[in-house]
C-alpha cells in the first residue's frame, strides 16, 4: 500500500477547518435584561453586577479578599454548626456569599416606622428601620448601619472592585455598599443587603451594658 505524501496528509487535515471557519460557529444567545417597575433605569449586565449584593449561585466561587479570610470574628461556629441553625438558603447567602433574586426578598418593600434588622445568623442588630430607604434596586437599602455592627472588605471578584459588607460578630455575608449614587440620604451611601441575611425585630435597639 502506498503511503500518502506529507502534502496530501496536510490537505486532508485542514480541509474540514476551511469548510467550517471560526466565524461560522454559532454562539448561544444571552438573555436580554429589561427594566422593571422597581428599577426604572435601563438594566445592563454591568449595572446588575454593580447593583447586586453578589451574583446568584456564583458568590461562593470568589473570595472577597485575603484579609477577610484571615479575619477572626467573635462568633466562630463551624460550617456544621451553622448548618444546624440556618436553612439551606440562609447558609448559601450568609456563609457562601450567595444572593437572592432582585425584588423577591421579604424586606425589599418593608418600611416600618420603628424596628431593628438583625443578622439572621447570630441575631446581632445591624440596621434600624429609620436607616432604610427606597432605592428601587430590588434589595433592601440602608444609608447607614448601627455603629460597629457592619464590617467592610474589598471585593475584587468579577473583574471589578466593590466593598462587601459582613456582620461584625459572625462574618455573615450581607451584601455590598455603594457610595456616590446621588440618593438624597445623609451619607450618600447604599448598603445593598440580602433579605435572607436579615431578621426583623420590633422596637429600638438596646444599648449594650
Mean pLDDT within 124-138: 97
Tell me the sheet residues that pair with 176: 164, 192
Residue-range domain boundaries for the chain: 45-201
C-alpha to C-alpha distance for 157 and 110, rounded to whole angstroms = 30
C-alpha cell at 196: 435572607
The structural architecture, per CATH, of the domain 45-201 is Beta Complex (2.170)
Q: Is 131 helix (H, G, I), strand (E, B) or coil?
A: helix
State the pLDDT at residue 55.
Answer: 45
Per-residue model confidence as pLDDT tens digits over 12-65: 545 544 444 444 434 444 444 444 444 433 444 444 555 555 544 343 333 343
So what's the pLDDT on residue 157? 85
Q: Tell me, letter by letter, the H, E, C secondary structure of 50-114.
A: HHCCCCCCCHHHCCCCHHHHHCCCCCCCCHHHHHHHCCHHHHHHHCCCCCCCCCCCCCCCCCCCC
User: Taking Cα atoms as reference points, which of 174, 149, 162, 154 lies closest to residue 97?
Assistant: 174
Average pLDDT, the chain: 78
Question: Which pLDDT score, from 0 to 100, does residue 136 have?
Answer: 95
Catalytic-role residue among 119, 167, 170, 192: 192
Sequence length of the chain is 209
Provide mean pLDDT across the span 135-143: 97
For residue 12, the model assigns a pLDDT of 54
* Integer angstrom CA distances of residue 126 from 8, 99, 133, 149: 73, 18, 15, 5
119 is catalytic: no
Question: Looking at residues 146-174, what average pLDDT do you find?
Answer: 96
Intra-chain end-to-end CA distance of the chain, in Å: 95
- Stronger pLDDT, 80 or 55, i.e. the higher one: 80
pLDDT value of residue 112 = 96
Which pLDDT does position 33 carry in this prediction? Answer: 42
pLDDT band at residue 71 using 50, 70 and 90 as cut-offs: confident
What confidence score (pLDDT) does residue 124 get?
Answer: 98
Amino acid at each position: 500500500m502506498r503511503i500518502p505524501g506529507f502534502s496530501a496528509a496536510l490537505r486532508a487535515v485542514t480541509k474540514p477547518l476551511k469548510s467550517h471557519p471560526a466565524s461560522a460557529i454559532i454562539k448561544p444567545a444571552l438573555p436580554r435584561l429589561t427594566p422593571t417597575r422597581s428599577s426604572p433605569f435601563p438594566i445592563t449586565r454591568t449595572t446588575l453586577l454593580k447593583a447586586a449584593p453578589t451574583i446568584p449561585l456564583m458568590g461562593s466561587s470568589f473570595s472577597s479578599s485575603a484579609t477577610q479570610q484571615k479575619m477572626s470574628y467573635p462568633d466562630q461556629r463551624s460550617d456544621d454548626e451553622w448548618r444546624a441553625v440556618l436553612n439551606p438558603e440562609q447558609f448559601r447567602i450568609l456563609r457562601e456569599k450567595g444572593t437572592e433574586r432582585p425584588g423577591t426578598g421579604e424586606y425589599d418593600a418593608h418600611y416600618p416606622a420603628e424596628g431593628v434588622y438583625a443578622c439572621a445568623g447570630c441575631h446581632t442588630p445591624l440596621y434600624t428601620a429609620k436607616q432604610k430607604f427606597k432605592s428601587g434596586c430590588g434589595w433592601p437599602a440602608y444609608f447607614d448601619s448601627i455603629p460597629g455592627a457592619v464590617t467592610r472588605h474589598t471585593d475584587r471578584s468579577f473583574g471589578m472592585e466593590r466593598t462587601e459588607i459582613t456582620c461584625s460578630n459572625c462574618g455573615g455575608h450581607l451584601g455590598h455598599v455603594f457610595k456616590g449614587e446621588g440618593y438624597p440620604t445623609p451619607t450618600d451611601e447604599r448598603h445593598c443587603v440580602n433579605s435572607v441575611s436579615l431578621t426583623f425585630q420590633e422596637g429600638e435597639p438596646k444599648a449594650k451594658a
